[in-house]
């Protein structure tokens, strides 16, 4: 058997058809016939080798939904015919202190679905059965696929940092992650402010649940947000004037980075001290948190707003993610 998909052959290039022979299914592995795969901005970072971890050629894609078609002989958790999802992570040691405390996302031996391996822009994927998740019936595959990475990445810090229904939450960037963050925070009872560079996103951000919308190019608007928020989640991958957002926090507030911004922070540490403020980060989420997030999304009708593309149109979809014209998550229908 050969698995066919679309791979990136060299840094920053267009994807082209690609075939590979899968390894023999390990005892705990499953073969999944993919029906849908979201395009996360992390796939773009990998295509461009922004993180110096990409090995070409490889098939990107880590917001996968499909059906199990084959199981290794020690697979217990899932069965053939079941609809499941796979996210960024597809393995860990399951023994270290991080795995033992449900934080497999911090395991030093973690395996990523499409780093050094082939991911979900393909007909099939092979993965560890202990990192696949049942998808609640209520969620359609198209709208649920982006929850597997985008959804968990924004749900997890809202839970970990104990955001409460009375809290005022800011979301920077109304993209794939951001539009889900608005929905989750709203469903948790919070008052939500969206910070965006795109004026045309205001109406929809409010439909997703934002109570207010700040066009960040307008510095006066940003100033008005000073001292108003308990928790801010940044989903952007660019350098911003972070001091504006630290100032937007109330005392004891927390600015949490989930967007992959690797520039230095440049504000005086004293502003954190004076307001007892925190700056934090968060990366995907552990397995228990993913299962909880999927259930929470199903109960609260939290779904990604998607634009669907056939697999052979993957380059057009990627282009729309790159130029920020996608609304709000590109999903490949395989």
Q: What is the DSSP string of 170-182?
A: EEE--SHHHHHHH
The string over 122-151, giving b where at least 16 C-beta atoms fall within 10 Å of a residue's C-beta and e elsewhere, is: bbbbbbbbbbbbebeeebebbbbbbbbbbb
- What is the smallest separation between the CB atom of 90 and ligand NAP, expressed in angstroms? 14
> Nearest-CA neighbor of 178 among 148, 139, 205?
205
Among 267, 324, 327, 333, binds ligand NAP (CB under 6 A): 324
Candidates 237, 295, 307, 315; binder of ligand NAP (CB under 6 A) is 237
| Nearest residue relative to ligand NAP (C-beta) | 175
Contact between 293 and Zn ion (CB under 5 A)? Answer: no
Binding mask 136-155 for ligand NAP (x = CB under 6 A): -------------xx--x--
Map residue 200 onto helix, strand or coil. helix
Told to check if 175 binds ligand NAP by CB under 6 A, we report: yes
286's contact among ligand NAP, Zn ion, none, with CB below 5 to 8 A by partner kind, is none
Please state the closest distance from residue 203 (CB atom) to ligand NAP, in A: 13
315 makes contact with ligand NAP (CB under 6 A): no
Q: Given the rule CB under 5 A, which of 39-47, 114-122, 126-134, 302-310 is the region that contacts Zn ion?
A: 39-47
Q: CA–CA separation, 6 vs 17, rounded Å?
A: 4
Radius of gyration of the chain, Cα coordinates, nearest whole angstrom: 20
* Among positions 4, 123, 197, 244, the unique one binding ligand NAP when judged by CB under 6 A: 197
Asked whether 287 and 104 are in contact (CB, 8 A), the reply is yes
Burial of 166 (0-12, 13-18, 19+ CB in 10 A): exposed
Supply the minimum distance, in Å, between the C-beta of residue 112 and Zn ion. Answer: 10
295-324 exposure pattern, b = at least 16 Cβ within 10 A, e = fewer: ebbbeeebbbbbeebebeebeebbebbeee
Neighbours of 98 (CB within 10 A): 18
Inter-residue contact 281 to 256 (CB < 8 Å):
yes
Quote the least distance from Cβ 283 to ligand NAP, whole Å: 4
- Which residue is listed with tokens 């997030």? 293
Q: Does 42 bind Zn ion (CB under 5 A)?
A: yes
Minimal distance in Å, beta carbon 92 to Zn ion?
17
Give the DSSP H/E element, type plus range, for residue 244: helix 242-248
Q: Is 92 in the site for ligand NAP (CB under 6 A)?
A: no
The footprint of ligand NAP on this chain (CB under 6 A) covers a number of residues equal to: 29
**Per CB under 6 A, which region of 74-82, 121-129, 193-201, 294-302 contacts ligand NAP?**
193-201
Closest CB to ligand NAP among 237 and 267?
Answer: 237
Kindly state whether residue 90 participates in binding ligand NAP, applying the rule CB under 6 A. no
Q: Which residues bind Zn ion (CB under 5 A)?
A: 40, 42, 149
Q: Which residues bind ligand NAP (CB under 6 A)?
A: 40-42, 45, 149-150, 153, 173-178, 196-198, 201, 235-238, 258-260, 282-284, 321, 324
């Amino acid at each position: 058997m050969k698995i066919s998909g679309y791979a990136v052959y060299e840094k920053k290039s267009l994807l082209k058809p690609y075939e590979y022979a899968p390894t023999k299914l390990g005892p705990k592995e499953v073969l999944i016939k993919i029906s849908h795969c979201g395009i996360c901005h992390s796939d773009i970072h990998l295509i461009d080798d922004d993180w110096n971890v990409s090995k070409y050629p490889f098939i990107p894609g880590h917001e996968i939904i499909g059906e199990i078609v084959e199981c290794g002989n020690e697979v217990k958790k899932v069965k053939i015919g079941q609809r499941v999802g796979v996210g960024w992570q597809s393995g860990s040691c399951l023994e270290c202190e991080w795995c033992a405390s449900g934080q497999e996302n911090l395991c030093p031996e973690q395996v990523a679905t499409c780093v050094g391996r082939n991911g979900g822009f393909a007909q099939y994927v092979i993965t560890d059965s202990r990192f696949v998740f049942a998808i609640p019936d209520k969620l359609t595959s198209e709208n649920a696929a982006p929850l597997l990475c985008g959804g968990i990445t924004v749900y997890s810090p809202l839970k970990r940092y104990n955001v409460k229904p009375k809290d005022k939450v800011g979301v920077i960037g109304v993209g794939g992650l951001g539009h889900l963050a608005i929905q989750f925070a709203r469903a948790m009872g919070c008052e939500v402010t969206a910070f965006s560079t795109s004026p045309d996103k205001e109406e929809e951000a409010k439909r997703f649940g934002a109570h207010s919308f700040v066009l960040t190019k307008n510095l006066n608007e940003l100033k008005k947000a000073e001292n108003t928020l308990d928790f801010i989640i940044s989903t952007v991958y660019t350098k911003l004037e972070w001091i504006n957002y630290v100032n937007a926090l109330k005392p004891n507030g927390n600015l949490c980075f989930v967007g992959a911004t690797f520039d230095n922070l440049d504000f005086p540490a004293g502003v954190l001290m004076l307001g007892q403020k925190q700056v934090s980060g968060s990366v995907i989420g552990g397995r228990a948190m993913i299962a909880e997030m999927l259930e929470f999304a199903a109960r609260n009708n939290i779904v990604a707003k998607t634009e669907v593309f056939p697999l052979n149109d993957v380059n057009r979809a990627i282009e729309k993610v790159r130029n920020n014209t996608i609304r709000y998550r590109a999903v490949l229908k395989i």
